[in-house]
Every structure is written in C-alpha cells, then in structure tokens.
Chain A
C-alpha cells in the first residue's frame, strides 16, 4: 500500500444543485395530477426513460416515495418488507422489490410523505431484470392499470434491433391512444439526446477516477447518480452532469482528493447495501478509497475486445441529428444495445472487471454478494475467482441491498477491517470515515 500522504480535499460545489434537482423531481411527481401530466410508474426506471419525453412533463415514482426514508429507519424498512411477506412473497426475493411490494400493499406508493398523492396512469418497465418486471406486473394488477414492457435484447442483430425499435414505437403509439396525448417528436428527440449525453457524461465522470488521487469516492458517485436515475432525459439533467464533470475535472487538475488520503484504491462490486451506505466510506478510516464499481454501470461505454471500457461519444459529437421519431427511437436502441455494460448478460464481466482493476490502478476489490439480487449479482462469483486467480486481493461479504435482516453490520465491518489490515493498511488518526457530507443521499 502507499504511504500516508495528505492530499487537499474540499466539499463539492454541485451538492446544492443536486438537492434542487431532487426537489424538482419530487415536485414533478406530486403535482403531476394537478397539472394534468402523466404519472408513469416504474420500479427502478433504469431503462428507456426518454421514451416518454414527447409527452411533456411526467411524474416518475420509481423507488417509491418512502424508499429513502425507509432506508434510514431499519425497523420501518423491515416492517414494510414483512407486509409483502404476509402476502406470500418469499423473503429471499430481491429485497428492493420486496420493499417496493411492501410499499404497494401498505398503500404508501401513491402517497407523498407530505400529504399529496400521485396515482400512476400505467406501469412501464424495461425488461432489464426479471425481478423488476414481475414486480411491475403486480403493481399494475394492484392499481388495475396497464403494464407496459419493452424487452431489452442483449445482442444487436437485424431482428433484435427491429424487435426492440418496433416495440418502442408501438409503446409511443399506445401511449398516445391510451392517454389521448400526442407525442411531440422534437421533444422526444431532445429527450433521447439528453439521455445519451447523460450516459456519456456519467462514463466520463467515472473515468476521472483513474486519477491519483481520485477526485471522488464511490459514496460520492452513489449520491451523484440520483438525478441520473430520474432526470437524465431532461435538459436540467444534462446541465447538472456537465457541471459535475467540469467540477470533477477541476478537482483532478488541482489534485483534490475524495477524502484527503489515498493509501489504497479499491473497487466495491455488486450493489451496495443502501441501508448501510456508509460502508462505502469505510476505507477512508484507513486513508483509502472505494473508487467505484457497480456505479460505473450508468455510463455509455465502448467495450473493447480485451475487456477494456472507454466512454462513448454523444450523438452530437458523432454528428448524429435526430430528425424523426424513428431516428430517435433507433438512437435509443443503439445506446441500450451497444453502450451499456448489460447488467444481466454477464459472460464478459470477469474480463472487464480484471481490466478495470488494471486501468484504475486498483489495489483490491470487495464484492457484495446480495442474497436477493438476480440481475447485477450474475457473474459475481466468477468475477471474484478471476480477480483472485490474477493476484488481485479480493474479498466478499454476504448481505442485502435493502434488507437489514440479511446483513450484520458488525460482522461486515470486522470482515472488511481484516481485509484492509491484511493488506497492510492501518487505521489513521482523525478518522475520516464517519459523518455525512452535505448532500450525500443514497
């Protein structure tokens, strides 16, 4: 490991903007009905959000309005999951989806924490992960509204692309008929360009983590990704990520570090336990950082044969202009078919992760084995094996992203502490691992 050198650090200038965007997203949702806008319910709208940008503003209650609050209150979180379990859903299902189902059956999905309501017009879910889609089906049945899905193929061939593109066009047409609203194709094109750009900006942001010292840690990235989830089709989303990228590049130029020291550089693979998110700051107690990991998945990456990933280019940079609905949808298909490190189709994962370790000068990897995840979890044991076989110090811990019953914080802390200590790290005086930095929200 590296000697304990102190690097300058400073709070992020973009936090207030991130907060503002969070408020904007909430406002969009809770006043949608009042404004006569759509409310489109997804589970984790990981995919294809810009498909609806031709329909004006819309509310998107994915994650559930109470999700963040529940993550901070373990007792309430467990109770919420027990509501779903009482309906017969097994405890070993994806814990995030179980939490969503608990919110659904407790009636809280449509209720704002501040008293408003947002009744979804329909459920839309891209088929990225089976758990999400099956949960979406239950949502639609509960509300008695349509469940609209789009399969996201993991291979770009003539027929998979035409299946994907045609289905998206059908969904737009269906939405027009169902809602009586007309899709404005210019706004659709703008939304697609924005979504593309946010993906690219996110990849570029992650790439800045190659710098020594790293300008952010994974905890920062986790917080910075919140607007990406819900607002990446909007101008405000793009402006935010342009601003963040500028700021992060400036941090790199100035040698500003994530948390002040960098005795070791680590990746955290797998979805982190959101209810115990400070685990991402644990290396800071040793003057080390988690550079990222699963958070890199929000980027548009060009994947090379040798496993290496490189940020893609925006549509504008490539001189692509979207002049029709068909072109917009085709560009969206291209993004999802060719530029995302497909989370579910994962044979490429071990090689890519090994390459990343090299390119980001990583000293070790921590892999979270999530008891319930069926998507991102795929291939994780193979990742661990390949890393270890190639001499990359790697450890795993078992847990859950959303179910505190499946993770012992003390045990995981002990486990990670011995991992770091076995690598020669020692706890530093003036621990920087605790506390909450302004704006940091899961």
Chain B
C-alpha cells in the first residue's frame, strides 16, 4: 500500500492502530492534550504517545462538565474519553496552554478511568532565556514520574534515541513540506494533514519508515493541477473534510500554521550536553501558539508571513474554532501583517461540524477574488 494511503488508514483507524501496537509490543499508551507535551520523553520510556482529538460529530455528553461556550474542540476531545473511545489509554498528560483544553484534562481525570496522569507546567514567556531552564526542570520531573509509572529508569541513551527518532520525523516531514513549495506539489492539503496526524498517532519509528517510503513515491508522482495557492492557519484544525472541501473548489493548500501541521513538527532538538535541555530548547524555539507568543516582535506573526511568502501563498484561510480566545486575540494583528504582505485572508469560524453551504459561497468568492488578483 502506498505510504499516503497508509497515513489515511491510520488516521481513520487511529484507535485500532494504538490497540494493535499495544498488543504487538506489550507497551503502554499515553494520551496527550496539546502539542506542547514533550512526548519524546514518554517515547524514551517505551510508551506510545497518542494525541487525543475529537471526532467532529455532534455530542451532548460533556454538557454537565464543560460550559457550552467553550471551544467545540475541547468538548469533543472530552466526549471521546467519556464515550470510551480511548479506553485503551494507560495514561494521559497535559502541558499548560489554554484554559479550555485544561478543562478537558481536569474533567477527563474526574470522569474517565485512567491509571497515570501528568500535568506539566509549561512556561508561557517563551521568549525569555529563563524558560528553557524552567522547562528542563519540568522535564526532569516528568521523566521521574514516567519512570515510576513504567517501572524502569529512562537512561540518557533512551532519551537520545528518542530525540534522534523525533528529530528524524520532523526532518522528514519538513522535506515533504518542502516539495509543496513548487508549482505542482506532489501532495495536496488533505494528504499533508493526514501525514502529520498519522505522526501523532503512530510509533515514530514506523512513521519514519512510511515517510521515507512517501518521499520515494513522491519522486515519481504527478504533481497537483495548479490551483489558487493557499495557506491555512489558526486554531486546532484536524478537519480533513474542510481541507478537502476548500481544495475541491480550486484552492490548493500549500502550507499551514496549525498545531496539526507545521507547528507540530517544526524545528529539531539541537545537539547539546544535556539531552533534556535540548528537548526543552526545541519546545521553546518552535513556532509558538498565540498564547505563548508574548515576544515584543511577535515571533508567530513573522513566522506566518514568512511561511506564506516562501510557499507562494496567494491567500490565507484563517480557521477560528468558535470561542477560541487565544487565536481570536491574534487574528487582527495577523490579518494586518498578511495584508501588508499582499496576502488577503478569509476567516472561517468553525464548530465541531461545518456549515457547508455558507462556507461554499464564501470560499468561492475568496478564490475568485484571488484569481482575479483584486
């Protein structure tokens, strides 16, 4: 089976994959909320990190636990736990980012049976050099907690191996993304998103194997038909249907700033004497989530504009998860910065499901405007 098809299979059968992995390896699986959880430390302990995500189906099981005016994503994630879809998880971890997803974590601990849990303090002022020291300290505590849980110590060489595997994963995904800079990218937006999502569910060694296979297969693959080159950015977005919908109308998504895309895999842990410091450094340096971007020059904003330029995006679609305040605060500055770079934006406010008819009209109009160069 072609690698891209295998990514797709893992995404649609994520739970099956994790269950099979567990029975195949005898290892434990740890769910995590938010990509700031340094999953490589768990991986070094022989644990499979699995990102917890929603299902994009209407649900009403969270109403007693989470206020309905909190983002649908955080409610959908909790719903999956309450509905038993992650019943194979042995543990769960969270790193402090947004209050909504914190609520998911707190309520999960309260209502979904789980043996191990970890709440990691993740500094917010990531522009300060002090943040790396603080985070490495947190990583040391996380390591100790994991050791207690799995019942063995995590050696430096375990950590080094894990970092090498994760760095390779990030490098290979970056290589695939690089191919999207050209005029006829060999991979479309849905396939790219599925590749990244699969990485969040799979054993990274196996994912690396598939990525290598994908890169070889892409060499002989015919490029996409030219379309209107677009960037996607904004709140958490794992809605491949929405991406496919945009592409079916003539949009060609070439890059993104999503935590289900570049923000997940951007940057490698640098070489260094202390492995935990190297891991911490990578999380501090990666393109920040809005809630962590407090730098005077707005690192995220520059990163977004550069990505859009480098990948030749003619326009950007900003996905705003309804009630997602962290991203909402960044939208006006980002729209202004992209406008100055001659990159028009369209904002789509999404919920667990999307209003297809309304979106169709807006996306069509946006694409027409971009094509006409107005």
Given contacts A134-B290, A149-B125, A157-B141, A89 and B99 within 8 Å (CB-CB): no
Binary CB contact string for chain B from 53 to 70 against chain A (1 if under 8 A, 0 otherwise) = 000000000001111010
Contact A346 B106 (CB under 8 A): yes
Binary CB contact string for chain A from 319 to 352 against chain B (1 if under 8 A, 0 otherwise) = 0000000000000000000000000111100000
**Docked CA distance A162–B128 (Å):** 14
Is B35 an interface residue, CB under 8 A from the partner? no
Closest residue of A by beta carbon distance from B110: A382
Range of interface residues on chain B?
35 or more
**Docked CA distance A207–B21 (Å):** 54
A89 to chain B, nearest CB (A): 6
Contact A130 B67 (CB under 8 A): no
Closest residue of A by beta carbon distance from B290: A134
Binary CB contact string for chain A from 374 to 389 against chain B (1 if under 8 A, 0 otherwise) = 1101111110010000
Is B102 an interface residue, CB under 8 A from the partner? yes
Is A369 an interface residue, CB under 8 A from the partner? yes
Chain B residues within an 8 Å CB radius of A369: 67, 69
Interface centre among A135, A149, A378 (most CB of B within 10 A): A378
Interface centre among B64, B99, B130, B290 (most CB of A within 10 A): B99
A residues 7-22 touching B (CB-CB < 8 Å): none
A280 to chain B, nearest CB (A): 21
Chain A residues within an 8 Å CB radius of B96: 154, 345
**Docked CA distance A151–B97 (Å):** 12
Chain B residues within an 8 Å CB radius of A4: none
Q: Which of B131-139, B205-213, B241-249 contacts A (4 or more CB under 8 A)?
A: B131-139
A residues 143-188 touching B (CB-CB < 8 Å): 146-147, 149-151, 153-155, 157-160, 162-163, 166-167, 170
Is A397 an interface residue, CB under 8 A from the partner? no
Closest residue of B by beta carbon distance from A386: B110
Contact B103 A378 (CB under 8 A): yes
B residues 106-151 touching A (CB-CB < 8 Å): 106-107, 109-110, 119, 121, 123-125, 128, 130-131, 133-134, 136-138, 140-141
**Docked CA distance A158–B134 (Å):** 9
Chain A residues within an 8 Å CB radius of B325: 92-94, 130-131, 134, 372, 374
A99 to chain B, nearest CB (A): 15
A329 to chain B, nearest CB (A): 14
Chain A residues within an 8 Å CB radius of B326: 130, 134
Is B296 an interface residue, CB under 8 A from the partner? yes
Chain B residues within an 8 Å CB radius of A133: 124, 294
Closest residue of B by beta carbon distance from A374: B99
**Docked CA distance A379–B100 (Å):** 10
Contact B134 A138 (CB under 8 A): no
Given contacts A130-B291, A379-B106, A382-B110, A89 and B328 within 8 Å (CB-CB): yes
Is B98 an interface residue, CB under 8 A from the partner? yes
Closest residue of B by beta carbon distance from A152: B124
**Docked CA distance A81–B320 (Å):** 20
Chain A residues within an 8 Å CB radius of B125: 127, 149-151, 167
**Docked CA distance A88–B123 (Å):** 28
Chain A residues within an 8 Å CB radius of B322: 92
Interface centre among B107, B123, B125, B134 (most CB of A within 10 A): B134
Contact B106 A347 (CB under 8 A): yes
Is A371 an interface residue, CB under 8 A from the partner? yes
Is A56 an interface residue, CB under 8 A from the partner? no
Is A31 an interface residue, CB under 8 A from the partner? no
Closest residue of B by beta carbon distance from A398: B69
Binary CB contact string for chain B from 254 to 294 against chain A (1 if under 8 A, 0 otherwise) = 00000000000000000000000000000000000011001
Binary CB contact string for chain B from 327 to 346 against chain A (1 if under 8 A, 0 otherwise) = 01111110100000000000
Cross-chain contact of A127 among B102, B124, B130, B329 (Cβ < 8 A)? B124
Given contacts A134-B326, A154-B121, A374 and B100 within 8 Å (CB-CB): yes
Contact B69 A371 (CB under 8 A): yes
Is A395 an interface residue, CB under 8 A from the partner? no
Closest residue of B by beta carbon distance from A376: B99
Is B17 an interface residue, CB under 8 A from the partner? no
Binary CB contact string for chain A from 360 to 377 against chain B (1 if under 8 A, 0 otherwise) = 000000000101101101
Is B323 an interface residue, CB under 8 A from the partner? yes
Contact B121 A155 (CB under 8 A): yes
Is A137 an interface residue, CB under 8 A from the partner? yes
Given contacts A89-B328, A92-B328, A379 and B294 within 8 Å (CB-CB): no
A410 to chain B, nearest CB (A): 21
**Docked CA distance A167–B328 (Å):** 28
**Docked CA distance A276–B119 (Å):** 37
Given contacts A155-B121, A167-B128, A382-B65, A88 and B335 within 8 Å (CB-CB): yes
Contact B98 A151 (CB under 8 A): no
Cross-chain contact of A381 among B67, B130, B138, B330 (Cβ < 8 A)? B67
A178 to chain B, nearest CB (A): 13
B75 to chain A, nearest CB (A): 11
Contact A379 B332 (CB under 8 A): no
Is A304 an interface residue, CB under 8 A from the partner? no
B34 to chain A, nearest CB (A): 13
**Docked CA distance A369–B325 (Å):** 16
Given contacts A149-B294, A382-B107, A162 and B99 within 8 Å (CB-CB): no
A381 to chain B, nearest CB (A): 5
**Docked CA distance A149–B65 (Å):** 32
Is A113 an interface residue, CB under 8 A from the partner? no
**Docked CA distance A147–B125 (Å):** 11
**Docked CA distance A160–B100 (Å):** 23
Is A90 an interface residue, CB under 8 A from the partner? yes
Contact B123 A163 (CB under 8 A): yes
Closest residue of A by beta carbon distance from B134: A163
Is A318 an interface residue, CB under 8 A from the partner? no
Chain B residues within an 8 Å CB radius of A380: 67
Closest residue of B by beta carbon distance from A343: B99
Binary CB contact string for chain A from 41 to 59 against chain B (1 if under 8 A, 0 otherwise) = 0000000000000000000
Cross-chain contact of A160 among B137, B323, B331, B333 (Cβ < 8 A)? B137
Given contacts A159-B137, A163-B130, A378 and B124 within 8 Å (CB-CB): no
Contact B329 A138 (CB under 8 A): yes
Contact A130 B331 (CB under 8 A): no
Chain A residues within an 8 Å CB radius of B320: 90
A154 to chain B, nearest CB (A): 7
Chain A residues within an 8 Å CB radius of B67: 369, 377, 380-381
Is A87 an interface residue, CB under 8 A from the partner? yes
**Docked CA distance A88–B331 (Å):** 7
Chain B residues within an 8 Å CB radius of A381: 64-67
**Docked CA distance A135–B333 (Å):** 12
Ordered by A's residue number, 11 sampled pairs between the chains whose C-beta atoms are within 8 Å are: A90-B320, A92-B323, A141-B333, A150-B125, A157-B137, A159-B136, A159-B137, A170-B130, A344-B99, A374-B325, A382-B106
Please name the 4 residue pairs, one residue from A and one from B, whose CB atoms are nearest each other, closest first: A159-B137, A163-B134, A88-B332, A134-B329
Beyond the given A151-B125, A162-B133, please list 17 additional residue pairs across the A-B interface where CB-CB is below 8 A. A89-B328, A93-B329, A130-B124, A134-B325, A134-B326, A149-B294, A151-B123, A151-B124, A154-B96, A159-B134, A163-B123, A163-B137, A166-B130, A170-B128, A372-B325, A382-B107, A398-B69
The interface of chain A, by Cβ under 8 A from chain B, is: 87-90, 92-94, 127, 129-131, 133-135, 137-138, 140-141, 146-147, 149-151, 153-155, 157-160, 162-163, 166-167, 170, 344-347, 369, 371-372, 374-375, 377-382, 385, 398
